Amino acid sequence: MQPFELLQPRTLEDALDRLADDEEARPLAGGTALVVLMKHALLRPERLVNLKRIPALQGIDWSSETGLRIGALTTIREVEQHQAVRTWFPALAEACHVVANVRIRNLATLGGNLAHADYQSDPPAMLIALGARVRIRSVSGEREEPLETFLVSGYQTTLEPGELVTDILVPPPTAGRRMQYLKFTTRSAEDRPCVGVAVSLGLEGTACRDLRVVVGAVSSTPVRVAEGEELATGKVLTPDLIDEIAGRAASAVDPIGDVRGSPEYKRRLVQVLVRRSLLGSVTEVSA
């Protein structure tokens, strides 16, 4: 690996100062993606600004009024094991639990995962299904954006040079909300997802009040199945309706063919997994 200078700021302000107007500097979070890219000489930053010693970027807060605030430097493992996440967002705990292997989850951070914007990842689809937003800071100020628009393409976000993701915000779930994350791998168990499906379902009695279906890992960003979501509104999710929504999901995606599967194969999987996750959510209701 090419030598670099390692900066260790203790405050967010100091880190932002060091990243501003320095195109040769890169922020270092967990390092599980960045260090590999540097080892392969795909990136050769002259300076790394290590964010791990900044307390403001750490921790998870939960309140029933404002929901979850997850500091960007929180590790995937910390999210997966956090009691409030397990209680209120079990599918988010699951989407983090199935990321890679335990060694990576111990280091990789949620903010790093989102800012890196690798399309073959589990948490983004689930977070979009839950309506998550990202809070972003730079020396010139703060802004917030839905994760859905923050992710622009594979490895591309709306982050400008000098901007950092500081927090991930997830609104509190409505009462009785059902949520599911289903990951499908075609190689080893701990592989990146071939397809990931995230579902969040709000109910009014037995009918669907609102539904989000998000397909991850098949296109350059997670894909919301808007047509299918609208079909469900106000209706009871019968097996026939679920079949129709699954069909809409398969048409909504434009899968990228890779070593994990051809476009045709992935499209078929999307249909199967959307159906499976919706049937699972509905079964949970009657249980």
Partner 1 sequence: MTINGRRVSIDADPSESLAYVLRERLRLTGTKISCDVQVCGACTVLVDGLPVSSCTYLAYEARGREVLTVEGLAHTDGALDPLQRAFIEDNAFQCGYCTGGMLLAAHAYLADEQDGDSGENVFEALAGNICRCTGYVPIVAAVLRVRDG
- Under rule CB under 8 A, residue 32 binds partner 1: yes
In this structure, are residues 246 and 225 in contact, taking their beta carbons and an 8 Å threshold? no
Least distance between partner 1 and beta carbon 92 (Å):
14
Least distance between partner 1 and beta carbon 255 (Å):
24
Residues 87-116 interacting with partner 1 (rule: CB under 8 A): 97, 100-104, 106-107
Residues 64-83 interacting with partner 1 (rule: CB under 8 A): 77, 80-81
Contacts for 36 with CB less than 8 Å, ≥ 6 apart? none
- Under rule CB under 8 A, residue 3 binds partner 1: yes
For 259, other C-beta atoms within 10 Å of its C-beta total: 9
- Under rule CB under 8 A, residue 6 binds partner 1: yes
- Across the beta sheet with 25-28, what order do the strands follow? 5-7, 47-50, 25-28
Least distance between partner 1 and beta carbon 3 (Å):
5
Least distance between partner 1 and beta carbon 11 (Å):
19
Rg, Å, the chain Cα set: 19
Least distance between partner 1 and beta carbon 286 (Å):
27
Complex with partner 1: residue 101 or 158, whichever CB lies closer: 101
Phi-psi region of 19 (alpha: psi -120 to 50; beta: other; left: phi over 0): alpha
Burial class (CB in 10 A: 0-12, 13-18, 19+), 43: middle
CA pair distance 223, 216, nearest whole angstrom? 6
Residues 153-192 interacting with partner 1 (rule: CB under 8 A): 188-190
User: How many residues lie near partner 1 (CB under 8 A)?
Assistant: 30
Q: Which residues bind partner 1 (CB under 8 A)?
A: 1-6, 31-32, 35-36, 38-39, 48, 50, 52, 77, 80-81, 86, 97, 100-104, 106-107, 188-190
